[in-house]
A and B are shown apart, each in its own frame.
Chain A
Amino acid sequence: MKKDKTISIKAKLLGTIIPVVIAIVVVLVVVAYQISAGIIEDNAANLLKTSVGSQESKIEAWINENLASFQMAKKTIEDMHADDDQIQKILDGYYNYSENYPDGLYLADSDGKILKASKSTKEENNATDSTWYKEGLTRVNMAVGTAYKNADGENVISASGILNDGSDDVRVISADMSLDRIAVIVNSFIEMDGAEALLVDKNSGMILANRDSALISKTLGESGQSALYRKIAKKISQKNYDFTTLDGNMTVFDEVNGTDWILVSYIPKSVVLSELSNLRNIMLIISLICILILCVLIERMTHVVISPVKKMTKVITAMAGGDFTVSMKVKGKDEIAVMGRSVEQFIESMKQMIKKIEEVSGKLKEQADASKNVSGEMNEAAGIQSQSMGEMNSTVDQLSISVNEIAQNATQLAGVVADTKSDSDTVENRMKETVEVSEKGREDMERVGEALGNIEVSIHNLETAVNKVGTASGEIVQIINLIGEIADETNLLSLNASIEAARAGEAGKGFAVVASEIGKLAQNSTESVANITNLIAEINRLVEDAVRQAGNSAGDISESAQLIQTAVDTFDTIFKNIQDTSHLINNVVDEINKVDEVASNVAAISEEQAASSDEILATSESMLNQAENISKNSQQVEEESDKLAISADHLADQIKQFKI
């Protein structure tokens, strides 16, 4: 069995579940953190706002409390219309009355004359130029003004106002509060842990109160201060007092009622969120622990769930190797237990099945051996049979050859007889032709005799005709002689005429020419007569020859006619002989026809016999083939039963591999 890289179910389960669990936990932590951060920031902002509001109210209350005290003193003085001594007493009474204004109250008139508590260390060189005096002139009800440095170099804020005692003198009553004192008060009112506060005069931008006393009375946003302070200064100068986050600090602005002061409180976001980061850390630790517990839990659970599967895997692996001696013992009622029990059942049924197969294979082997023996015997028998069939076949073969030869000979005989018959037929025909030819020859001879008779007559006719020509040519000669005489006379006449013409002289000249011409004509006619006379003499000689010749031919022809008569007689004799011969030949032909019939019958019968012997041969050959096939088949059976025996052996071996 090939060793594949197997991934266990446990690894798969852990590999799937744990990343998902981690992802979910991370998402939960992140979402929870974001929501918490939002809530905490909102809460912190609200808390800071409330804190500042409350701080502002406390500052306001503190100021109002002090102002109320001042107002009370002022009112007392006003209502009493007190003189300087009485005022002095009152002022003395306020000295060291409160830590907030240890020097108590003091007065200054328009001449710069100051009335103060006897023990007061307050020094003022030029009261009417002082900040508190000038500010005091702008109001009747005492109110706090802007911060300034007093003659002692101390940063103070004065509450001052016009003393309205009904007199026409203008006097200003005032009391000093140190900025350090205000700073302590402002900072002691901070409610929120980690928050810082500063008090700023919105008109001058001066820092009135701050935890860092070095910054008090400095202008906010001066160089050297933190970026946060510069940003706060900018916001104040823009009169934008909304809640905002500056430089990582949540910042709240609040105007202090009845003053030009602005209370600024800020808290670094990191401080606000520090608890949140704790929360986040706790959440992370808890989620980490949760994940670890989950991992262990899942690992254990899968282990417990999977252990029967592992056992089962072992059993199945053993089964795959052929070992069925293994067994499974399972507890429980879950699917895996059911599976285990089923495997157990499977092993049992497999064991039984293999046992049965073993038995069957044993039996099979026996049967294979038996069939092998049987097939061997059968093979032998088939061999013998095949041999016998072979022998029989050759015998039939020889028989067949003999019969065929007889048939052939009979056929040849029939052929010869047939040929003879046709020859005799030819002879008969020839005889008939010969008779016809000899008859025709005789007729021809007779016709030649007749022709010779006709020729004799014709020659006689010719003799007569030639004799008539001789007569006609004698008459022509007489006529020509006559013409000759006329020509001579004409010639004489022309001579006479020419003599007469010559005598006539010139007048007969024309007539002389005609006379000469007639003379010439007469001469020509004489010449022609001479020529014709010659020609007729010739013709006479030729006709005499022809008559002599015709007489000769007639004699020859008579002799030929006698010869032909002799030939016709000969022909008759020949004709008779031939007719006798023809009769004889006809008789011979009849006999030959009878022999032909007999020979044909013999040939047909012997051919039938040959065909039958061929069939016998074919049958015996197919029988031989079948015998051979039987032999082959029985050999194959033997081979197969050999193989079967081998297979049965293999099967037995295979089954031996299973352990049951």
Chain B
Amino acid sequence: MKRLISLFLCFVLITGVLSSCGQSKGNDRSNGSGIKVMLTLSQADTFRNTLVEAAQKAAKENGVQLDVKQAESSLENQVKQVKDAVKEKYDVILCALVDADAALEIESLAGDIPIIFFNNCPDESRLESGKYVYVGSDEKVAGKYQAEYILDKFASAQEINVAIMKGPASQSAAQSRTSAFKDTLNASDKKINYVFEDRAEWDRTKAKDLFEIFSKTGQKCDVAVGNNDDMALGVIDACKEKGIEGITVLGIDATADGCTAIESGDMAFTVYQSASGQGDMVIQTAVALAKGNDMSKLSGVTKDQKYVWVPFEKVDSSNVKDYE
């Protein structure tokens, strides 16, 4: 009996010591008011500007103090901005990384301040639930939507010849979009021939050049897919120049040019990445993190709470007007 009691006491002691280590500080703020958030943007462009505007609007609605800094494609600028954020005691940093590989550096500079990455996704190993989170759209879904459109359109065909214009090899978005696209197609019962697959580096001209070279090989092509709208437009340019017809062209991003191409019938399909949705979501996530790391109530949060996905939207001739 005595032995049992002493054993029990040992366990109580050990568990007590272990459990007392894991206490975390709570944050008692009820809504967004009083939260100081800094946003550092890699480079301004149409998409990112839309995103920042949506974030500013959401910040105003939630009573969050949002300061936007431009890194102008300079990692040095971005690093300096993060250091300033620490000095000025911001609650949360919103960061569109200049370089995805710099995530670790940014995180160590920020110290205890949680960081919400957006627009450029760092490696998964750099993310941590409740501290380092990525808000964006799941690139795989974009590639999947393209593949689904093709499978739907060529439902009766046994064999589909596909050309792919990819983004830079180093960019995760390009890789994810391509692999999800190919995986979805490969999973179908159709014979998929990848007649062309090369990197056009997001570039319209490069895509045009590559497609022209491809056309020389005389291979049959049913579908040309770009990892973004620009590259898809490059394919369209090449087709127009060479007088090639009957190729279904798909892009991603629903840019103004892309939408115009859809309206004119040159492009069949694109996927809209909601800049305003992401801008809204970064603020929501910032509030959740500042309040006490509870992200479970955010919509689109993954199980491991490292990602918050803002859904993509399919765009074709039927709804293109909504995105112009």
User: Which residues does A use to contact B, with CB under 8 Å?
Assistant: 16, 19-20, 23-24, 27, 31, 49, 53, 137-141, 143, 161-162, 164, 168, 170, 203, 239, 255, 257-258
Looking at chain B's contact residues, is the secondary structure mostly helix, strand, loop, or mixed? helix
CA distance A24 to B9 in the complex (A): 10
Whether B186 and A20, one on each chain, are in contact in the complex, defined by CB atoms closer than 8 angstroms, is no
In the complex, chain B residues whose CB is within 8 Å of the CB of A257 = 169-170, 175
Whether A203 and B199, one on each chain, are in contact in the complex, defined by CB atoms closer than 8 angstroms, is no
CA distance A170 to B216 in the complex (A): 7
A139-B196, A239-B183 known; A27-B10 Cβ under 8 A: yes
CA distance A20 to B219 in the complex (A): 82
A24-B6, A138-B197, A139-B196 known; A31-B213 Cβ under 8 A: no
CA distance A162 to B194 in the complex (A): 15
Whether B219 and A164, one on each chain, are in contact in the complex, defined by CB atoms closer than 8 angstroms, is no
Whether A138 and B196, one on each chain, are in contact in the complex, defined by CB atoms closer than 8 angstroms, is yes
Whether B219 and A137, one on each chain, are in contact in the complex, defined by CB atoms closer than 8 angstroms, is yes
A and B contact pairs by CB, cutoff 8 A, 22 listed: A16-B2, A20-B3, A23-B6, A24-B6, A31-B14, A137-B196, A137-B217, A138-B195, A138-B197, A138-B214, A140-B198, A140-B213, A140-B214, A141-B199, A162-B213, A162-B214, A162-B216, A168-B216, A255-B179, A257-B169, A257-B175, A258-B169
In the complex, chain A residues whose CB is within 8 Å of the CB of B11 = 27
Q: How far is the CB of A119 from chain B (nearest CB, A)?
A: 30
CA distance A257 to B168 in the complex (A): 11
A31-B14, A257-B169 known; A139-B198 Cβ under 8 A: yes
Q: How far is the CB of A67 from chain B (nearest CB, A)?
A: 10
In the complex, chain B residues whose CB is within 8 Å of the CB of A53 = 125
Contact of A20 among B6, B175, B196, B218 (CB under 8 A): B6
User: Which residues does B use to contact A, with CB under 8 Å?
Assistant: 2-3, 6-7, 10-11, 14, 125, 169-170, 175, 179, 183, 186, 194-199, 210, 213-214, 216-219
A138-B196, A139-B196, A239-B183 known; A27-B7 Cβ under 8 A: yes
CA distance A311 to B69 in the complex (A): 89
In the complex, chain B residues whose CB is within 8 Å of the CB of A137 = 195-196, 217, 219
Residue of B nearest to A24 (CB): B10
The 4 closest A-B pairs by CB, nearest first: A139-B198, A258-B169, A137-B217, A138-B196
In the complex, chain A residues whose CB is within 8 Å of the CB of B183 = 239
Residue of B nearest to A26 (CB): B7
A162-B217, A257-B175 known; A138-B194 Cβ under 8 A: yes
Contact of A23 among B7, B198, B216 (CB under 8 A): B7
With A138-B198, A139-B198, A168-B216 known, 20 other A-B pairs at CB within 8 A are A16-B2, A20-B3, A23-B3, A23-B7, A24-B6, A24-B10, A137-B195, A138-B195, A138-B197, A138-B214, A139-B196, A140-B210, A141-B199, A161-B198, A162-B216, A162-B217, A170-B218, A203-B186, A257-B169, A258-B169
Q: How far is the CB of A252 from chain B (nearest CB, A)?
A: 12
In the complex, chain A residues whose CB is within 8 Å of the CB of B217 = 137, 162, 170
CA distance A138 to B213 in the complex (A): 10
CA distance A257 to B6 in the complex (A): 57
Q: How far is the CB of A63 from chain B (nearest CB, A)?
A: 11
In the complex, chain B residues whose CB is within 8 Å of the CB of A24 = 6-7, 10
Q: How far is the CB of B226 from chain A (nearest CB, A)?
A: 15
In the complex, chain A residues whose CB is within 8 Å of the CB of B6 = 20, 23-24
CA distance A246 to B11 in the complex (A): 33
Residue of A nearest to B186 (CB): A203
Q: How far is the CB of B22 from chain A (nearest CB, A)?
A: 14
Q: How far is the CB of B231 from chain A (nearest CB, A)?
A: 14
CA distance A417 to B39 in the complex (A): 164
CA distance A170 to B125 in the complex (A): 44
In the complex, chain A residues whose CB is within 8 Å of the CB of B214 = 138, 140, 162
Q: How far is the CB of A126 from chain B (nearest CB, A)?
A: 17
In the complex, chain B residues whose CB is within 8 Å of the CB of A23 = 3, 6-7
Whether B2 and A20, one on each chain, are in contact in the complex, defined by CB atoms closer than 8 angstroms, is yes
CA distance A162 to B214 in the complex (A): 8
Residue of A nearest to B211 (CB): A140
Q: How far is the CB of A370 from chain B (nearest CB, A)?
A: 66
Whether B3 and A19, one on each chain, are in contact in the complex, defined by CB atoms closer than 8 angstroms, is yes
Q: How far is the CB of A103 from chain B (nearest CB, A)?
A: 25
Whether A141 and B198, one on each chain, are in contact in the complex, defined by CB atoms closer than 8 angstroms, is yes
In the complex, chain B residues whose CB is within 8 Å of the CB of A239 = 183
Q: How far is the CB of B100 from chain A (nearest CB, A)?
A: 13
Whether A164 and B213, one on each chain, are in contact in the complex, defined by CB atoms closer than 8 angstroms, is yes
CA distance A138 to B220 in the complex (A): 11
In the complex, chain A residues whose CB is within 8 Å of the CB of B194 = 138
CA distance A49 to B213 in the complex (A): 40
Q: How far is the CB of B57 from chain A (nearest CB, A)?
A: 37
Q: How far is the CB of B304 from chain A (nearest CB, A)?
A: 10
CA distance A258 to B198 in the complex (A): 10
Residue of B nearest to A239 (CB): B183
Q: How far is the CB of A29 from chain B (nearest CB, A)?
A: 12
CA distance A428 to B186 in the complex (A): 178
In the complex, chain A residues whose CB is within 8 Å of the CB of B197 = 138-139
CA distance A138 to B210 in the complex (A): 10
Q: How far is the CB of B169 from chain A (nearest CB, A)?
A: 5
Q: How far is the CB of A458 from chain B (nearest CB, A)?
A: 147
CA distance A203 to B197 in the complex (A): 15
In the complex, chain A residues whose CB is within 8 Å of the CB of B125 = 49, 53
Residue of B nearest to A164 (CB): B213
In the complex, chain B residues whose CB is within 8 Å of the CB of A258 = 169
Residue of B nearest to A50 (CB): B125
In the complex, chain B residues whose CB is within 8 Å of the CB of A27 = 7, 10-11
In the complex, chain B residues whose CB is within 8 Å of the CB of A16 = 2
In the complex, chain A residues whose CB is within 8 Å of the CB of B175 = 257
CA distance A77 to B57 in the complex (A): 55
Residue of A nearest to B164 (CB): A138
CA distance A328 to B194 in the complex (A): 106
Q: How far is the CB of B50 from chain A (nearest CB, A)?
A: 30
Q: How far is the CB of B99 from chain A (nearest CB, A)?
A: 16
Q: How far is the CB of A299 from chain B (nearest CB, A)?
A: 19
Q: How far is the CB of A416 from chain B (nearest CB, A)?
A: 109
Q: How far is the CB of A259 from chain B (nearest CB, A)?
A: 10
CA distance A567 to B142 in the complex (A): 192
Q: How far is the CB of B219 from chain A (nearest CB, A)?
A: 7
Residue of B nearest to A60 (CB): B169
CA distance A49 to B198 in the complex (A): 29
In the complex, chain A residues whose CB is within 8 Å of the CB of B213 = 140, 162, 164
CA distance A239 to B210 in the complex (A): 30
Q: How far is the CB of A56 from chain B (nearest CB, A)?
A: 12
Residue of A nearest to B196 (CB): A138
Q: How far is the CB of A581 from chain B (nearest CB, A)?
A: 130
Residue of B nearest to A168 (CB): B216
In the complex, chain B residues whose CB is within 8 Å of the CB of A170 = 216-218
In the complex, chain A residues whose CB is within 8 Å of the CB of B210 = 140
Q: How far is the CB of A387 from chain B (nearest CB, A)?
A: 83
Q: How far is the CB of A38 from chain B (nearest CB, A)?
A: 12
CA distance A37 to B170 in the complex (A): 37
Q: How far is the CB of B162 from chain A (nearest CB, A)?
A: 10
Q: How far is the CB of B21 from chain A (nearest CB, A)?
A: 12
Q: How far is the CB of A162 from chain B (nearest CB, A)?
A: 6
CA distance A74 to B198 in the complex (A): 16
In the complex, chain B residues whose CB is within 8 Å of the CB of A164 = 213
Q: How far is the CB of B216 from chain A (nearest CB, A)?
A: 5
CA distance A49 to B194 in the complex (A): 32
In the complex, chain B residues whose CB is within 8 Å of the CB of A168 = 216
In the complex, chain A residues whose CB is within 8 Å of the CB of B198 = 138-141, 143, 161
Q: How far is the CB of B205 from chain A (nearest CB, A)?
A: 14
